[in-house]
């Protein structure tokens, strides 16, 4: 456990010492702020919301403005975790200490999850502000954040796997973007398919998941999906660390 914490702490320090952290977090807040402003204006005009019955529920995964930036930011946040060390050669120094590949992946994953949480903490202000002027369902908000954390468990593990497989950070970002982007689009395809295919695709669709969470519905099937996906991805990442491309 000690090496895991050492790796975790170093990773966080390096991340918050780099401009990437601040650029991503500020850009994300800017986009969230704009989209929440648009959603509030939409509700203020008294228009029908078609399913989502309050601004917060619509904000949490109800619009494409929420998902598109995430599909870009997750690969950027996770790309340095292992690919950065591989590209700079520090992976060799790391893996020739008495540390196991599992400990390395665990430390890096915890760091990735922490970045994810750092993205979301500032959005609590939206909840606070909304509560000043209207009704906020605390259960629905709690369920929304639980869902967000679950998606983080899923996305960060996918990004870490991309980072474990890639020789450089750029390759890692592209790999992760294609992977989570493809899964996202598969999820949307549920609207043009039928029967079993539709059910399977809905099960994969983070958009569908989030609209349930945002209504305060905690579907444990989704949580099981996130955790089992992450377990598989992390297992593969540990295996990938043992594999070294020919120079």
Partner 1 sequence: MLEVEGLTKRYGARLAVDGISFSVAAGDVVGFLGPNGAGKSTTLRMITGFLAPTAGRVRVGGVDAIRAPTEARRLFGYMPEGVPLHHEMRAREYLAFRAELKGLGRQGAKKAVDRSLEQAGVADAADRIVGQLSKGYRQRVGLADALLTDPPLLILDEPTAGLDPNQIRQIRALIRSFRGDKAVFVSTHILPEVQATCDRVVIIDRGRMVGEGDPTELAGGGETQRLRLRGPGSAAAFRAALAGVRGAAIEGAREDGAGSDAETTLELKLPRGDASLDALFAAVVAAGLGIRALEPVEKDLEDVFASLTTEDRATVGADESAAPGEEAP
**Residue 41 vs 90, nearer CB to partner 1:** 90
Query: How many Cβ atoms are within 10 Å of 212's Cβ, its own excluded?
Result: 17
Query: How many Cβ atoms are within 10 Å of 82's Cβ, its own excluded?
Result: 27
**Residue 90 vs 231, nearer CB to partner 1:** 90
Instruction: Please state whether 48 falls in left (phi above 0), alpha (psi between -120 and 50) or beta.
Output: beta
Q: How far is the CB of 196 from partner 1 (least distance, A)?
A: 39
Query: How many Cβ atoms are within 10 Å of 156's Cβ, its own excluded?
Result: 27
Q: Counting beta carbons within 10 angstroms of the beta carbon of residue 243, is it exposed (0 to 12), middle (13 to 18) or buried (19 or more)?
A: exposed
Q: How far is the CB of 11 from partner 1 (least distance, A)?
A: 10
Q: How far is the CB of 104 from partner 1 (least distance, A)?
A: 9
**Residue 32 vs 76, nearer CB to partner 1:** 76
Q: How far is the CB of 20 from partner 1 (least distance, A)?
A: 12
Q: How far is the CB of 121 from partner 1 (least distance, A)?
A: 24
Query: What is the rounded distance in angstroms from the CA atom of residue 78 to the CA atom of residue 161?
Result: 9
**Residue 12 vs 188, nearer CB to partner 1:** 12
**Residue 2 vs 221, nearer CB to partner 1:** 2
Residue 117 tokens read as 């949480």
Q: How far is the CB of 94 from partner 1 (least distance, A)?
A: 7
Q: Is the dihedral of CA 246, 20, 40, 142 positive or negative?
A: positive
**Residue 16 vs 120, nearer CB to partner 1:** 16
Query: What is the rounded distance in angstroms from the CA atom of residue 127 to the CA atom of residue 111?
Result: 26
- For binding to partner 1 (CB under 8 A), which residues are involved? 2-3, 6-7, 9-10, 13-14, 17-18, 88-100, 242, 244, 246
Query: What is the rounded distance in angstroms from the CA atom of residue 199 to the CA atom of residue 197?
Result: 5
Residue 113 tokens read as 């999850």
């Amino acid at each position: 456990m000690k090496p895991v914490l050492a790796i975790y702490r170093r990773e966080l320090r390096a991340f918050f010492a780099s401009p990437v952290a601040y650029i991503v977090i500020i850009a994300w807040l800017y986009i969230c702020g704009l989209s929440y402003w648009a959603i509030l204006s939409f509700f203020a005009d008294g228009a029908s919301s078609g399913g989502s019955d309050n601004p917060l529920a619509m904000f949490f995964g109800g619009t494409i403005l929420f998902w598109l930036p995430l599909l870009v930011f997750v690969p950027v946040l996770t790309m340095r975790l292992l690919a950065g060390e591989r590209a700079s050669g520090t992976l060799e120094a790391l893996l020739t200490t008495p540390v196991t590949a599992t400990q390395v992946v665990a430390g890096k994953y915890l760091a990735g999850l922490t970045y994810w949480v750092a993205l979301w903490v500032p959005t609590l202000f939206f909840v606070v502000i909304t509560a000043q002027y209207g009704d906020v369902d605390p259960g629905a908000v709690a369920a929304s954040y639980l869902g967000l954390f679950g998606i983080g468990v899923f996305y960060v593990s996918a990004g870490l796997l991309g980072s474990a497989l890639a020789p450089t950070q750029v390759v890692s970002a592209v790999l992760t973007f294609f992977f989570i982007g493809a899964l996202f689009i598969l999820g949307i395809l549920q609207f043009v398919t039928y029967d079993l295919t539709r059910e399977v695709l809905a099960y994969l669709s983070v958009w569908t998941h989030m609209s349930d969470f945002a209504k305060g519905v905690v579907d444990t099937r989704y949580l099981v999906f996130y955790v089992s996906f992450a377990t598989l991805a992390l297992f593969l990442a540990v295996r990938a660390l043992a594999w070294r491309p020919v120079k």
